[in-house]
Amino acid sequence: MTSVPGRITWPPPELAVPPVQLPPTAPVTGADGVRRYDQLSYATNSGYRPRLLDLSVPLTAEPAALVVWIHGGAWMEGDRRHPPPTVSADLLFGSLLRAGLAVATIDYRHAREAAFPAQLHDVKAAIRYLRHYAGPLGIDGKRIGVWGESAGGHLAALAGLTGPTGGAQPSHEDTDLEGTEGVREGDSAVAAVVDWYGITDVGALVPDRPGPGDPIVTLLGGNPADRTRLAAAASPVSYGGSPAPPFLLVHGTHDTLVPFEHSERLAQLLRAAGNQAEVLAVPGAEHIFLNADVTPLVARSVAFLAHHLSP
C-alpha cells in the first residue's frame, strides 16, 4: 500500500487484501428450468482482468454432474462463450444440458498476458471454485469432467493428468502446476476428460526457426530449445504413464495444424499404464473438424461424459 500526503491511498484499505473467495451471485432461471449464473469471478489478481466463468445447471432431482468447457485459440485468443465456428453453442452446450449435465464455460489468461503454467493454474482454480461452491450451485463436486478443443483440449488433458491426485510433475523450478489462484483449498481432480484435437507434445510442433509470434514460443515465454523442462511440463505426454481418469480423444486424421498422431500417442501411453483411453478418429477432417459432420462427434462426447460422470 502506498500513501502520498494529500493524495489518495492505493489500494484503499478495503481492497488491500484481494478476496480469495468470490461467492456466486444469484442465478437467472429460464423457462426451461435451467439456472444460469453469468460472469462469476473465480479468481482475481491485481493487474489482470478477472477470470470469469458462466454456469448453467439443468433442473434435476439430484445435484447435477458438471462438465467444464475450455475454449481453444492457440492460447492467445478465444472466449468462453463461443465454441469453434464448426459447432453451435446450442449443439455443444445444449446437448450437455439436455443430458442432465451442468456446464461451466471458463476464460483463462492468454499467453500474451502470462506464460505457462498460468493457463493451467486458471483451469484448476475454476475447478476448485466450482467444487468449493458445489452445494449452493446445485452441482455434485465429486462428479466433474473437463472438455476442451485445440488449446483447450491441451489444457483439459493437463487438468486430468497433473496435480495432487492426477499424476507426477516433471522436476522444474518454474512448474508448480496446481497454482494458488482463487479458492486455494480443495483439489482440482476431474473424473473424465474429452480432448478435441489438443496438442500433447508442445516441443514436437515448434518450427526449426520459431519467431516471436509462434504460439508455443508465446506460451512458454521463449524458445522451447531454451526451456526444455518447461516444454516437458506443458506436454500431456510427459504424464502418460501416471494414473489418469478415462480419456476420449477426438481428432481429424487430416489435421494439418495438430497432427492426429498427437492424440494417438497420448492414448497409447495412457493405455500402456492401465488407464482407459479411447481415440475417435474423424476421417478426412481438418482442425476444428472442417470437412466433418460435428453432430455425431458432440453426441459421442456427451455420451462419454454422461457415462463416466454418472452417480
pLDDT tens column, 25-66 = 889 999 999 999 999 999 988 888 899 999 999 999 899 999
Q: Please give the C-alpha separations between residue 218 and each of 2, 6, 121, 212, 301, in angstroms, as whole numbers.
A: 33, 42, 17, 7, 30
DSSP, collapsed to helix, strand or coil, labels residue 171 as coil
Question: Beta strands 139-149 and 192-196: pairing type?
Answer: parallel
Q: Please give the C-alpha separations between residue 286 and each of 277, 289, 292, in angstroms, as whole numbers.
A: 22, 5, 8
Q: Which residues have a Cβ under 8 Å from the Cβ of 88 and sit 6 or more positions away?
A: none
- Helix, strand, coil distribution of the chain in percent, nearest 5: 30, 20, 50
What integer pLDDT is reported at residue 11 of this predicted model?
52
What integer pLDDT is reported at residue 175 of this predicted model?
65
- Interval 14-35: pLDDT, tens: 544 445 456 788 899 999 999 9
Q: Give the chain's largest Cα–Cα span.
A: 69
Global pTM reads 0.91
If 0-12 CB within 10 Å is exposed, 13-18 middle and 19+ buried, where does residue 144 land?
buried
Positions of the chain with pLDDT under 70: 1-22, 164-175
What integer pLDDT is reported at residue 154 of this predicted model?
98
What integer pLDDT is reported at residue 10 of this predicted model?
57
- Taking the C-alpha atoms of 207, 289, 297 and 143 in order, what is their torsion angle to the nearest 10 degrees? 40
The number of beta carbons lying within 10 Å of the beta carbon of residue 284 is 11
What integer pLDDT is reported at residue 26 of this predicted model?
86
Question: Beta strands 139-149 and 102-106: pairing type?
Answer: unpaired
Minimal CA–CA distance to 79: which of 27, 141, 149?
149
Angle at 141 between CA 90 and CA 143, to 5 degrees: 65
Ramachandran sector of residue 182 (left: φ over 0; alpha: ψ -120 to 50; beta: rest): left
